[in-house]
Structure 1
């Protein structure tokens, strides 16, 4: 049976899928993993795990479908991640993850001063934030000189898998555009003056597009994975963009809203839009541009509450539904891991306002769902202010399985959300890109056929006024608590440093 294989390296798991030529799912596989948080603000992962899990998932998928004829392989992964490797492709240190890792604050400040914020925005499209991959490369150079002395190549999860599978050293344009400030978004190329000034030890990876074929599976990789030697492998890209592909949300005017461990938004726009509050990037396809945003917690916050209350999700959802709009007078800021867009504040922290002894876990869970919805609204309104013409919202990711969360987001934003039939995410989008890459001329599949829309979530106009009022309070709560919260964030860092020093002293 002819099919394509797609694998995505996510924050909390690696997922794989075998998709038939018509888009039907033949098999899925998952491997859960954890990220490492060795210090406050640091979020890392051993990049070697990515390949190990790819091998295990490929074996499982192909064993479960013995007659599978893999015509192509698609890859994607969280990002932008910075995995530096030596000349033998051995990682020199753990990979530094995307914007949830906030270690490069000093490097961001220095680069902004040295290069100028206006010039950084002109070249790369965006101001430097915790999402900026280039600043994290500079952090390694300054803070981990032993690793830097051995570093020769730059990888992200998708390009790491491509290297292991095919031997090709490439990176897609979309991922490269988030290695800020080293990518020229209008020229669609590395910005050589800044790369040479700050990352000269690293061989700049050649650039291609997400759906282009990067190479073919080598004999050694075939023996490990079970994928036939010579099978084409696409370049791939960052998971949020691949997820947008999986739902057909990559046309001008589309907004992809990804419900996952974090919340991600990708708007496809007709021209390069620049705003300091969001991320301007190249798109997954040649000539396209995106305005993107990301919240540092969404599913991570609901999982935290689940673990804290020792309740299961059905219980919490039922109790949250009973709590009603406004969570009986609770308001929560979801900044439990700092926040990315649109406030770009790594020192933001979670706030729960209005608590009384009468509140229960259902109220807290409702407040958490509403907080993420208000965060989505904050991002959407910021995108529109920057000039994005958002005409269509497509919801994807694991969180779409809960109707209550979807309804709260639509009610809080006033936006209709379309939900496609298949919401397993980026691995499915990667399989689709692979199917497109290997299709005969004129016979490429259409995502509308693979993954049609099956549900629409309409906002309830009766709840609009209540959420307008809640959104106003949400904005004022952040402004009113920011000074104290920043002081607490500094205290947390000091405490973490004392703990680390104490542990070092015990060794």
Structure 2
């Protein structure tokens, strides 16, 4: 049976699957893992986890489906991240994660001025500098850990690290590169040599490929470690949100893709690279498919925090949140539990729960969490529209779609129709599709047709309107106090 393997390394777990060439999932496996938070604002991961879990999960998949003839491999992972390795390919320090790691906050103004100002950076890179920018993270390591920098010869992200270990090739996909701001030109699709040398002196940049391009083939050493056949092709891979977007066919201008996961990610394809203040302009997975994206620092992570805090069962708490009703019985939350990325770009923002009384239940708090993330989605949409980016409908994927309450709240708050596809496995499925496209003629519309459409309820949309305006006001009203608290944490 011909099959492809898709892998995704997420913030809290790694998932892998085997799929037939018609998109049917044969087997799925996963492993949970944790990130490290050595200090406030620092979020890292032991990169050994990425390869260890890939090899383990691959063996499990092959054992579950011994009849599978794996013909290609696709990979994705969290990003933009920074892993530095030495001349022997060994990691020099833990990987620095994406925008949830805010260590560069104090460096951004200096770097922006050094490169000629925000307008100059946006003109070439599409986005200004933020804690999401991997180029700024490279500069941070070069300045603060010179002994590490002196030994660094390569930098990779989770997907490109696995590709390197599978194939021996030092590559990075264009989309991931476009999030290494300010090192990559989103209009020319090339590295910016003078800015690479200024922020990452002496570090060779990886060869650039598009996400679905073949990076190389599985080597004999990698085959021995994974059980995969020698010589099968491997994609260049990409960042998980874009692979998940591929899995639902998100490359339609005006349709926003929402990734319901530990963090929430938003992607809107655009006809051409479009700078939007507070958001990220990227080049997408394929040539001619640029997009504007945004991301929350936490979303599903808050619900998981709450579940662990009260020792609750997910299904029970979800039903309690449903029963709480619109407005969570007078509760309002700011979901900035790890700072916030877009559109406020405030690493010192913190979570706030307003309106608590002794009568409130965990269901009310859970409901307030879901509503807060929906308000944040609407905030991002309003910023996009103000910059001329059309957003007329939504398409969702990810584990948060289970139970349908969360996407229903998002549709009601935004007033937008939302499509839920047949397969919501996520990025590993998108990675498998890209792998299949290396060796066969496949169509994601046949792999993963729409299954459900969530229509917004006009009555609910109107009922959420006061809550949204209070949400926007609450941040401004509490910002000064929250920043003082953050400085003492």
Q: TM-score, with normalisation over the residues of structure 1?
A: 0.95
Is 2:412–2:457's contact at 8 Å kept on the other side of the alignment?
yes
1:329-375 Cα deviation digits (max 9, x unpaired): 11000000000001100000000001111111111111011001101
- Residue in 2 aligned with 1:77? 77
Q: Distance in 2 between matches of 1:457 and 1:83?
A: 40
- Residue in 1 aligned with 2:400? 399
- Residue in 2 aligned with 1:34? 34
In the alignment of these two chains, the number of paired residues is 488
1:6-29 Cα deviation digits (max 9, x unpaired): 000100000001000110000001
1:243-279 Cα deviation digits (max 9, x unpaired): 0000111222221100000000011000111122100
1:200-231 Cα deviation digits (max 9, x unpaired): 22111010100000100000100110110000
SS of corresponding position for 2:203: coil
Q: Distance in 1 between matches of 2:24 and 2:231?
A: 24
- Residue in 2 aligned with 1:497? none
Q: Distance in 1 between matches of 2:125 and 2:298?
A: 26
SS of corresponding position for 2:38: coil
TM-align CA RMSD: 0.8
- Residue in 2 aligned with 1:90? 90
Correspondent of 2:461 among 460, 464, 467? 464
- Residue in 1 aligned with 2:358? 357
Moved more, 407-416 or 195-204: 195-204
Correspondent of 2:483 among 481, 486, 489? 486
Give the Å deviation of 1:392.
3.3
Moved more, 50-59 or 108-117: 108-117
Q: Distance in 2 between matches of 1:408 and 1:198?
A: 42
SS of corresponding position for 1:364: helix
Q: Distance in 1 between matches of 2:439 and 2:123?
A: 37
- The runs of 4+ residues in structure 1 deviating greater than 6 Å are none
- Residue in 1 aligned with 2:326? 325
- Residue in 1 aligned with 2:159? 158
- Residue in 2 aligned with 1:250? 251
SS of corresponding position for 2:309: helix
SS of corresponding position for 2:388: coil
Q: Distance in 2 between matches of 1:287 and 1:481?
A: 42
Q: Give the 5 Å matches for 1:276-295.
A: 276-295=277-296
- Residue in 2 aligned with 1:502? none
- Residue in 2 aligned with 1:123? 124
SS of corresponding position for 2:216: strand
Give the Å deviation of 1:129.
0.6
Q: Distance in 1 between matches of 2:295 and 2:403?
A: 20
Q: Distance in 2 between matches of 1:129 and 1:359?
A: 37
- Residue in 2 aligned with 1:62? 62
Q: Give the 5 Å matches for 1:240-389.
A: 240-389=241-390
Is 2:392–2:416's contact at 8 Å kept on the other side of the alignment?
no
Give the Å deviation of 1:453.
0.6
Moved more, 159-168 or 313-322: 313-322
Q: Give the 5 Å matches for 1:17-28.
A: 17-28=17-28
Give the Å deviation of 1:54.
0.5
Q: Distance in 2 between matches of 1:392 and 1:211?
A: 26
Q: Distance in 2 between matches of 1:318 and 1:64?
A: 34
Give the Å deviation of 1:288.
1.7
* Structure 1 unaligned spans of 5+: 493-507
1:382-437 Cα deviation digits (max 9, x unpaired): 11212212233110000011211111111111011100111110000000001011
* Structure 2 unaligned spans of 5+: none
- Residue in 2 aligned with 1:212? 213
Give the Å deviation of 1:130.
0.7
Is 2:42–2:101's contact at 8 Å kept on the other side of the alignment?
yes
Q: TM-score, with normalisation over the residues of structure 2?
A: 0.99
- Residue in 2 aligned with 1:498? none
- Residue in 2 aligned with 1:149? 150
Is 2:136–2:199's contact at 8 Å kept on the other side of the alignment?
no
